[in-house]
Structure 1
């Protein structure tokens, strides 16, 4: 089962549409999560239809910021449990197997919002006994080796995120694809 999670940084031009189509063709995912779409549902629905996904859920962009899209194929059952500007929390069933929780995340980019977000996000874990997977962009770099250029890693943000992972009993799975995604 393949998932694609992509911080699109906007889906308003033919280059981004082509990159999306090429990625979907290459990986043939059953679930696609797009963050920072900077678009409203009506626009994203046209893209979903063109790319032949049967199900969808959206958190509209606010002005020219944010925006989340979740698409899935007909063989996947997705129930939306909760959503916000920064995540879509779901219950997924594949081929009638045991349901599991998957939260698709786009962490807040602004430092002032991060600590409260992790406190609120932790409540999702406390509310479930299901297996849980978190997919997306947390907008935190925990080690300088994970980035090139720009400002140095903010240790307090990295610690907050690592503490959250520890308390929630989470592990980081290896990525497949570009190193800086």
Structure 2
């Protein structure tokens, strides 16, 4: 089972539509969470062509910013909307291919510190209510957890970043180390002006270690946005994520 999170930084630019569709076709995720659509749900569904291939839930924008959405393959995954707010949405997800059922939280980290405090507190209360269930928290968090999450520019830990660390620790969130790169956002500048940060993540909450599954996270190199998409692959325990092909020269002589 494959999840994908992608801050698309707007869906309205015509030159980006084909790139995104090709990205979805290449990765072939079963569940995709997108952030910062900057459009209404009907417009996003039309542009991405989700009616033909996907089922979807969207959180409409307020003004010209934010906008969240979750898309899934209805033939492989069952999704039920639980709640949605301006900066996050939660769904109940069940896979028809592996033994997995749990909650999925799609996050867009706001710019204002006051909104961030409120967002982390809301998710904390929700996690307390669904404590026995496996939960995946994914999306654009708009904060770093350590100095190693940023390269270039000024590296410092402010009060809201410390609160974000407290949110992760107090809820016993576990982050899977990603392959393919340490950073998910770039300012696209060259030389000494280049800044990269790790702002998009996957967190696994609480009882995940009881699930008979193995997982792998990867930062993908396809993007028309300043953010790179990140994928999470779930497999049944005992089934390798990469099946090696082995051959001995002597076999070819027989």
TM-score with structure 2 length normalisation?
Answer: 0.65
Contact 1:59/1:67 (<8 A) preserved: yes
User: Whose radius of gyration is greater, 1 or 2?
Assistant: 2
Which structure's relative contact order is higher, taking Cα pairs within 8 Å and 6+ residues apart? Answer: 2
Deviations 1:112-162 (A, max 9, x none): 221122111101101112111101011111223323445534332222112
Q: Give the structure 1 partner of residue 105 of structure 2.
A: 103
Q: Aligned partners of 1:163 and 1:62: how far apart in 2?
A: 29
Secondary structure of 1:21's aligned partner: helix
Is the alpha carbon distance of 1:176 and 1:18 closer, same or farther for their aligned partners in structure 2, counting shifts above 3 Å? farther
Q: Aligned partners of 2:165 and 2:176: how far apart in 1?
A: 14
Q: Give the structure 1 partner of residue 219 of structure 2.
A: none
Counterpart mapping for 1:68-147 below 5 A: 68-74=68-74, 75-95=76-96, 97-128=99-130, 129-147=132-150
How far 1:13 moved relative to its partner?
1.1
Secondary structure of 1:135's aligned partner: strand
Identify, as 1 or 2, the structure richer in strand: 2
How far 1:26 moved relative to its partner?
1.9
Please say if 1:163 is aligned against 2:188.
no
TM-score with structure 1 length normalisation?
Answer: 0.90
Q: Give the structure 1 partner of residue 36 of structure 2.
A: 36
Deviations 1:53-72 (A, max 9, x none): 33110111112111011110
RMSD across aligned positions (CA):
2.0
Is the alpha carbon distance of 1:3 and 1:176 closer, same or farther for their aligned partners in structure 2, counting shifts above 3 Å? farther
Secondary structure of 1:171's aligned partner: strand
Is the alpha carbon distance of 1:112 and 1:72 closer, same or farther for their aligned partners in structure 2, counting shifts above 3 Å? same
Q: Aligned partners of 1:56 and 1:145: how far apart in 2?
A: 35
Q: Aligned partners of 2:48 and 2:13: how far apart in 1?
A: 15
Deviations 1:97-119 (A, max 9, x none): 45201111112121222112211
How far 1:32 moved relative to its partner?
1.1
Q: Aligned partners of 1:16 and 1:31: how far apart in 2?
A: 21
- The runs of 5 or more residues in structure 1 that have no matched partner are none
